Amino acid sequence: MEIKRIDYDFTVCKVTDYSLVNWNTEYCFIGKTEDENSLVCFTRDVPQNVIKRDDGWKVFRIQEILDFSLIGILSRISGILAKESISVFAVSTFNTDYIFVKNRNYEKAMEILKQNGYSVVE
């Protein structure tokens, strides 16, 4: 399976609302619940109405369109990285999954995935 490196710096944050989000950016993920407005965006695009933020994330994605009936893809990747004490968080879109790791672990994660049969593309 191919994974694609996405070499940008990302921030995970809570915002008061989405009015200041840069919707024209290449990557932007939101999650809204009754308790919070979450946003994952380029660090350079963090809006001024941020309440809380966690900088220092990188991301890669599964380089395929994943059918909803597929089982265990995200579990396998997170399990491989967990064995090496690399924590992850994932965002799923209609087509695929994006896996975030801290900057300090990104290159190590790429190497570990290669060693476990994944092809890493730029």
Residue 71 has a pLDDT of: 61
**Architecture field, domain 2-121:** 2-Layer Sandwich (3.30)
Kindly give the confidence (pLDDT) of every residue in the chain, 122 residues in length, as a single tens digit, with 9 standing for 90 and above.
899 999 999 999 999 999 999 999 999 999 999 999 999 999 999 999 999 999 999 999 988 766 666 667 888 999 999 999 999 999 999 989 999 999 999 999 999 999 999 999 98
Joined together, the tokens standing for residue 49 give 């109405």
Give the three-state DSSP class for 71.
coil
Residue 64 has a pLDDT of: 72
Locate the domains of the chain by residue range: 2-121
Total length of the chain: 122
Using alpha carbons, select from 89, 69, 71, 66 the residue that is nearest to residue 3.
66
In this structure, the number of other CB atoms found within 10 A of the CB of residue 3 comes to 22
β-pairing verdict for 119-121 and 2-15: parallel
